[in-house]
Amino acid sequence: MNIGVLGTGPVGQTIGTHLVSKGHIVMLGSRSTNNPTAVKWATENNSRQGTFSDAALFGDIVFNCSFGNASLEVVKLAGIQNLHNKILIDVANPLDFSMGMPPRLTICNDSSLGEEIQKILPGTKVVKALNTVNNEIMVNPGKINGGGAELFICGNDEEARATVTELLVQEFGWKRECVIDLGGIIHARSTEALLLFFISIAMKYGTFYTGIKVLKG
Amino acid sequence: MNIGVLGTGPVGQTIGTHLVSKGHIVMLGSRSTNNPTAVKWATENNSRQGTFSDAALFGDIVFNCSFGNASLEVVKLAGIQNLHNKILIDVANPLDFSMGMPPRLTICNDSSLGEEIQKILPGTKVVKALNTVNNEIMVNPGKINGGGAELFICGNDEEARATVTELLVQEFGWKRECVIDLGGIIHARSTEALLLFFISIAMKYGTFYTGIKVLKG
């Protein structure tokens, strides 16, 4: 499959490299073509790079791996038409560390980054996923407790959620029973708010290699 | 021990009844003395009732089980002097259901109910605890998966957190390894924000009998 990745940071590179290893063709997108980080990655991975717009046009499925506080601008730069009718997997979190630890969220409670992206891209199937785990865990869930942590996904299009679930299971190695479909994109308020909790947990245990599992009575 | 409970709703009654069963003397506090709910509870449990102020004065340890959006007013009515140098276990969440499901939090992200209560009561050792589970689970953690769910506590006074941990283990039945001490009251931002997640989970599974466990890599 052709995959577009918006963002050249650790998350975008990790997801890109992993999908290349699975036989997909990946284009990493950044603000400008020939971004040195993207060129280096593309050279090392025998892959492609371009602008956000190039990557959005290229991908059958597109990942938003930009910094959360840039994401609304990034998806506009990527192009509403380039993303039309496609699945956009939103991995970002609107974390703001500028006031120290713990960080705050720049969007929360009454909305979420996932919802705001969906508003900008009404013709795109936005699915929030993978935002609650460290990038190394995203592509290697077995690193936590043998793969027992759960992943929470949401989005307004049921078929798109099912497609993303398959991708997470088949290509990212998540156990099917560990991918929890919460329903509409409104639940991105919950899964983004989880980041506040995960940072408290990271401050306690000194590691971001954590996940959660819901236990039921 | 003498225990004061602020609030006569299901949470206050459940905690009060449980602590009576463990041999403690409990006073349920409400806005006015002789509140019919409190009188009924006190009669049935051979216990006491009074105003918020009465309950705060009575308790060696005091539980805030008032509705989250009333809690700041309730602790003022309880009396800063009555709570001086005592442990106040804050069980409440600032949930606002007035705009439908999912609810929003009236305080979040840059602060929390726990922190705001601590500001009002600088001489009191506020410990946030038990706010992430249903009231029946609070006093019977074995109802979830044999007791494997974790409880997250925080507060600025380390000794008070240790005292509350003992209370949760000895009197409420929580396994010691399941009581996770997150540190300062600032982490109430995280544990209150978890409520957004727990409501998504409740909407998915149709039950509030849930808990979470953190898995580490």
Q: Calculate the CA dihedral of residues B128, A149, A189, B191 and round it to 10 degrees.
A: 0
Query: Is the distance from CB of A27 to CB of A4 less than 8 angstroms?
Result: yes
pLDDT digits (tens, 9 = 90+) for B132-153: 999 999 999 999 988 899 999 9
Q: Which of B154, B191, B217 sits opposite A144 (nearest CB)?
A: B217
- The answer to whether A193 contacts B193, with C-beta atoms less than 8 Å apart, is yes
- What is the overall mean pLDDT for chain A? 97
Residue in chain A lying closest to B148 (CA): A215
- Rounded CA separation B207/B177 (Å): 25
pLDDT greater than 90 at residue B23: yes
Cα–Cα separations (whole angstroms), residue A201 to A32, A145, A198, A211: 36, 16, 5, 10
Compute and round to an integer the Cα radius of gyration of chain B: 16
Selection from A52, A30, A190, A61 nearest residue A124 by Cα? A61
- The pTM assigned to this predicted structure is 0.96
Q: Measured on CA atoms in the order B122, B106, B193, B30, is the torsion positive or negative?
A: positive
Q: H or E element: which one contains A15?
A: helix A10-21
What is d(CA A95, CA A18) in angstroms, rounded to the nearest whole number?
A: 25
Is the Cβ pair B214, A217 closer than 8 Å? no
Looking at this predicted complex, what is its ipTM?
Answer: 0.95
CATH superfamily, with its number, for domain A2-205 = NAD(P)-binding Rossmann-like Domain (3.40.50.720)
pLDDT digits (tens, 9 = 90+) for A28-66: 999 999 999 999 999 999 999 999 999 999 999 999 999
Q: Where are the domains of chain A?
A: 2-205
Closest to B189 (Cβ–Cβ): which among A149, A183, A196?
Answer: A196
Q: How far apart are CA B108 and CA A120, in angstroms?
A: 25
